[in-house]
Structure 1
Amino acid sequence: MAIALNLTAPLKQDPESQQRLQQIAATFADGVQPVIDAALAKSETVHFARVLVIDNKYIQVLTEFDGDTMAYTEFFRKNLGPVFETIFSLVESAPSWAELNNPDAFFKFTHELNLKALGRSTVGNEGRGYLFSAIGDTTVREINSSLNRPLTSTV
């Protein structure tokens, strides 16, 4: 069963942070997205992923993934550290990257930012709220294997 990540963080509102946010947004498709895309494909666990900015007040990283949450978090800390360092530098009350750049601190901080969805939790999403999956507990690896195709970047 896929597990949901609804990481939602309040953004700093000072002019410098807001300007950096606009710069990131302007270069995201060509500069950041390919890096994220490569890591997502390499993980072989992520069904869907997206990054949203809401009214320049919140940033969201939303994914559905297979497997252990600690292993998932650690994979992305290692493989997307610079991306998360940039994102968290814009987040209100976020510890410095030097403090976050270890397995336990990164997991704890991202776990605290993971909003619970409305509704009753499904298997694999205990404490995370409702998540529907049309494919049941089929993993990304199983889906790709049945389609006889390797995971590749979409860019």
Structure 2
Amino acid sequence: MSQNHFTLSFPLKSGADAKALAQELPPLMPDLFQAEDAIGTVHYSRFTVLSDRTLLFLGDFDGDFGPLMHDLARRAGPVFDVIFKHVSDPPSAPVANNADAFVGWAAEHQLKPAYVYSAYPGPTVKEIKAMAAADIEGARQLLPFLVILPARSRLAFAEMQLILRTMGMTGKVDRDMDSVGTPHFAQFVPLEEHQLGFFTVYDGAFDKYIMDFTKNIGPVFDVIFKFTKDPPPSPCSKHVQEFIDFAAAASRDPIGFYQGYPGLANQDIKALIADGKSQSAVGR
């Protein structure tokens, strides 16, 4: 079972609907989390309001997109019923009774990432939980990071995506992300109005993350910033505070950060995987 990522784009009717959802969604998150726990294939998920016109729903999961959307429709239909009251051309309601329509709508509104990273691409949510056993509630703080990078032009936007796909194929971005040591999943996703979203889940404090990030993956962003509108100074590694200020201004607040195995750090999970492989080798 392979790991995958989804970014769903919900086209909102108006800015008033965006503001309404920012207030209506947080109280519904416990119901969504309960549904995702029951489904058992979601590593992380979160909503964010991208603009007055768009709500995003992001997730990292095991398996195929269609079955996950079908399960979300059946188990968390009322959450999406609230969202679709604010969406242009929504699927049939109630969602729980029209799961196939929801799956079709979601497939049409899924955004294709330019690059996807996983720190531990092998194990599923259920396997990680099984390896952690009684220690499933880890002690580390995990946070989502949602940064929006506006391109200078349509051509610059295309160049950004081409660069990321090329770097992804060579394995450079994966190696740089691995060297940071705290990101779990990360994606670069093309968005509306020639914007590029950088979405990640990471361990620890924000400032420490950015310090490690600029040191290890700064050169990737130095290249991307050549095509970004009003970028911070380069190189990032020598202008860390400017990068922090830029990222803070360009970020979006998450709504409902779901964790499939709360509090387990990147290195905790890798240690569990290594220990599991070691025990398997001994048993052979």
Same topology, TM > 0.5: yes
Q: Partners in 1 of 2:48 and 2:124 — Cα distance? A: 25
1:7 positional shift: 0.2
Please give the per-residue CA displacement for 1:94-131, whole angstroms capped at 9, x wherever unaligned.
2341588423221110010000111xxxxxxxxxxx31
Please give the per-residue CA displacement for 1:3-62, whole angstroms capped at 9, x wherever unaligned.
111101211017xxx2x5434422433x21111111111111101100011122200110
Q: What is the match of residue 50 of structure 1?
A: 46
Residue type at the aligned position of 1:134 = A
Higher helix share: 2
Larger radius of gyration: 2
Q: Tell me the number of residue pairs that the alignment of Structure 1 and Structure 2 aligns.
A: 138
Q: Partners in 1 of 2:13 and 2:32 — Cα distance? A: 23
Local SS of the residue matching 1:132: strand
Structure 1 residues 132-141 or 96-105, which shifts more? 96-105
Using the size of structure 1 for normalisation, the TM-score is 0.77
Give the 3 Å change call, closer, same or farther, for CA 58–141 of structure 1 in structure 2: same
Q: What is the match of residue 6 of structure 1?
A: 7
Q: Partners in 2 of 1:153 and 1:144 — Cα distance? A: 7
**Are 2:6 and 2:60, in contact at CA under 8 Å, matched by a contact in 1?**
yes
Residue type at the aligned position of 1:69 = F
Percent of aligned positions with the same letter in both sequences?
A: 30
**Are 2:11 and 2:87, in contact at CA under 8 Å, matched by a contact in 1?**
yes
Aligned-residue CA RMSD in angstroms? Answer: 2.4
Q: What is the match of residue 146 of structure 1?
A: 131
Please give the per-residue CA displacement for 1:46-83, whole angstroms capped at 9, x wherever unaligned.
01100011122200110011123222111100011111
Please give the per-residue CA displacement for 1:123-144, whole angstroms capped at 9, x wherever unaligned.
xxxxxxx311111121000001
**Are 2:8 and 2:57, in contact at CA under 8 Å, matched by a contact in 1?**
yes
RCO greater where, 1 or 2, for CA within 8 Å and sep 6 or more?
Answer: 1
Q: Partners in 1 of 2:66 and 2:91 — Cα distance? A: 19
**Are 2:11 and 2:53, in contact at CA under 8 Å, matched by a contact in 1?**
yes
Higher strand share: 2
Local SS of the residue matching 2:67: helix
